[in-house]
Structure 1
């Protein structure tokens, strides 16, 4: 019997490989463990999506699959197998990997759903020193090794990285981008059953969720995921690149692909996504900067996060070189966007509350930046991202939050902390104009919480930042502020309440 976890749902997890994976007639097992939803206060839309995807896959596989609803994975495994032998592909978290390796009847096959085998990454990382690794070097290696966007031994278009072309400000004459609508699925009887079960679990006090569970917005089947990929490549990829770092209050999706949850559930293979994008460029239907930006997100950043999670080891999640220890406030944990006055944070927090998703710049610069400035416990911030986002998994959030968003590792994977004052948000969004706060004000009733937060962050860590060539200039600017004492008082007066 072969065991499928709930994020191993695509056909590439069932294709027999070289010495690993199930045969074509191998009986399959899937376990829906209630304990998973007790451990964290997940977003309701995330719980819905995962259960819907698992139950849809079970319906597709029919009699070949045994679907067990149990309290724990161990209980489900005992019920289904009676201690008989089971195979499973390498799980996607240290907790799940520890579970399966501790079960004598379970044999673990190599991971699937990624471009680079784990042992190949370890060899590459060891050769690069192992401690301070850079995504750009890895990305170029993957491009060469997989012949992605390459013309012979040179990058297609003449440059490896077109990020400079993909930082345009949002249009000032429109509240939305003029791009094709994203794919949205239709719910069915399985979704009705899932919603009924989640309602019952909450009513019984068995589990507790956060956020809203409106109509399901993300694919739960391979067919839906393929349709979403096709829609993106045909109607949205063309405009993806220039505005991938921009934000519009009325257009949270903009031209983003919305494929992360499908990739992370295993409904899509990353190879089909990047190869499909390259085909659009070679056919003259999409510009190179948009295609390169999309390929870098998947073959570069996503792949890099997966491998760093395992390479850095389980202790990496406890990194905290800045010694941030403040707890996350209740309004943040409850996704209480209505209590927030700062328009950018209110808008983004409402997007998370209503959909369990927002794109990478609101995550990094609005949500992550605010947490970093306030000195919140990075492990708590990581857990919040994990449970609040439909595409959030342990392997996704540990390196993304610990390493990049909160700079808790001191620069093992990034060259500087990623946080800013209100000027950046004003430049890259339309959210500051109607806001009660002014991005240029450091003190007074209209002082922007991101601006005061930025300068107090620099002040708090000036010794470390002064020795980093990418942040030393900010320390010099800090010393020229003149009203630093007033900025400190402004930030202390704000406290941990919503801004």
Structure 2
């Protein structure tokens, strides 16, 4: 008689068929655990909680009798109640990994398998990283392209260039929206209705507004979202990838970060779909390359650096920033903010749990850097309030890229700017009470004044970086810099 296989326990971000049907897993029962303590302990955005529960419950419905769906006080209690050991994939956070290995020591987990949600294995990354102390995305991205033979013509990149980022920085058109086809939108069903009722009944303080559900939670939905993006939106994506319009929160972005981070899609499937569109001429090479760089480059880079840097990475604080997040920022109170760009970004997080990478980096992140918000607290804020913000996602994005708090381990400079950048790349300044050209007085733009104040406060470190030394030189030529710094040190309205 053939020995029965241990069931496969899936976390809520391990929901795609490339996770649970690979190898011999087609014969295993699937365990899904809805942990009350996980929601109570971590809270976060209401729509994020909805997506996680909806995704797990939809998968249980799809798998039928093969799935064992347990609601329990916690994961350990559920596994004890199950009464047999389980196989599990390595989870996606330091804390969860330690917990799973403790369960293995207790005999509740029989095997911990490598996580298959990313193209590159952690072993292969460590081999690539070697003894490096500092990392650059472009080096990693080129190695990924070669390794997986994506947009390559033999040993050379398709089109003769590795990176079309320069072509993907155009300011938005002079209209209120891009006027392109909508993204794919889900249709809520009875499962979503029950999820909403159950969340209403939970004794948890969630942030943000409730639904409707805006992101895919099943593999079939994710495939539809990917197909819609490739066929209808990718041609426009690259050109205005970095642009912002106040009445067009999605622009030409794919909205695939949630299904990718729930592991509903194999990342290489999304990459190959974009590559095929470029190869057959249905989209431009610059648009396809920009999208591929986000997934095969940046997403993989962030994942691997999260594990490579380790838990101590969160303690980095290069600019000695310790200002607590203000209540209006923590509470997503967009109505308390005057600056149009900052108010709109907060409203996007409140209403959708999502804004694209430029509002994240050049509005929310830039504001936080200028104000000296504590980088660890800010990282947790991003994790909790973004629907795609899992533990592995935010440390490198915030500590490294946004706040440069790691001192340059994975980026070459802090990313911040004055109002001129926002004026160029958006329509926000047209009807804002603040003037992006003004740094002193009632109409002083908090980004323009904040930029010079940040430069003044950190001039010694910025002068030592060749990429920011010019900013310090420009700051020293301002005859009103002391007045600007004094003004910003007492600013109470943004």
> Is the TM-score greater than 0.5?
yes
Counterpart of 1:119 (choices 112, 123, 139) is 123
* Corresponding position: 1:8 with 2:8: no
User: Could you say which residue in structure 2 is the equivalent of 1:196?
Assistant: 197
2: CA distance, partners of 1:459 / 1:35 = 45
Q: Structure 1, residues 71-112: CA drift from partner, whole Å, max 9, x if none?
A: 1111111112x2x22111111001110110111221210111
Q: Does 1:454 align with 2:468?
A: no
Give the Cα–Cα distance (whole angstroms) in 2 for the partners of residues 458 and 70 of structure 1: 51
User: How far apart in 1 are the matches of 2:366 and 2:43?
Assistant: 23
The match for 2:243 is 246
Distance 1:211 1:152 in 2: 48
TM-fit CA distance, 1:36: 1.5
User: Which of the residues 57, 60, 63 maps onto 2:59?
Assistant: 57
**Structure 2 match to 1:101:** 101
1:472, distance to aligned residue in structure 2 (A)? 0.1
Contact 2:8–2:25 at 8 Å: present in 1 too?
Answer: no
1:288 and 2:285 are equivalent in the alignment: yes
Alignment-derived partner of residue 420 in structure 1: 417
Structure 1 position 348, deviation (Å): 1.0
Q: Deviations over 1:51-87 (max 9, x none)?
A: 111110111111111111111111111112x2x2211
Residue 68 of structure 2: SS of its match in structure 1?
strand
Matches of 1:468 and 1:406, distance apart in 2: 15
CA RMSD across the alignment: 0.9
| Runs (4+) off by over 4 Å | none
TM-score normalised by length of structure 1: 0.96
Task: Compute the displacement of 1:179 (Å).
Answer: 1.4
Shift of 1:144: 0.4
Aligned to 1:171: 173
1:113 Cα shift? 1.1
Q: Report the equivalent of 2:388.
A: 391
Structure 2: state its 5+ residue gaps.
1-6
C-alpha change, 1:111 and 1:46, in structure 2 (3 Å) is same
Q: Quote how far apart the aligned CAs of 1:323 are.
A: 1.2
Structure 1 residue aligned with 2:300: 303
Establish whether residue 217 from structure 1 lines up as the match of residue 218 from structure 2. no
1:401 aligns with 2:398: yes
Aligned pairs, number: 484
C-alpha separation between the residues in 2 aligned to 1:217 and 1:64? 28
What secondary structure, in the 3-state scheme, does the structure 1 residue paired with 2:34 have? strand
Does the Cα contact within 8 Å between 2:15 and 2:264 map onto a contact in 1?
Answer: yes
Q: Offset of 1:213 from its aligned partner?
A: 1.0
Counterpart CA distance in 2 for 1:255 and 1:447 is: 32
TM-superposed CA distance for 1:389, in Å, is 0.6
Name 2:137's counterpart in structure 1. Answer: 135
1:324-380 superposed Cα distances (whole Å, 9 cap, x missing partner): 111111111110001110000011111110010100000000001111111111010
Residues 470 and 43 of structure 1: is their aligned pair in 2 closer, same or farther, counting only changes over 3 Å? same
Structure 1 gap segments, 5+ residues each: none
Secondary structure of 1:29 counterpart: strand
SS of the residue aligned with 2:25? coil
What TM-score do you get using the length of structure 2 for normalisation?
0.97
Asked if 1 retains the 8 angstrom alpha-carbon contact of 2:79 and 2:85, the reply is no
Q: 2:491 aligns with which of 490, 494, 497?
A: 494
The SS at the match of 1:88 is strand
Q: Deviations over 1:466-489 (max 9, x none)?
A: 010100000000100110111011
Q: Does 1:344 align with 2:344?
A: no
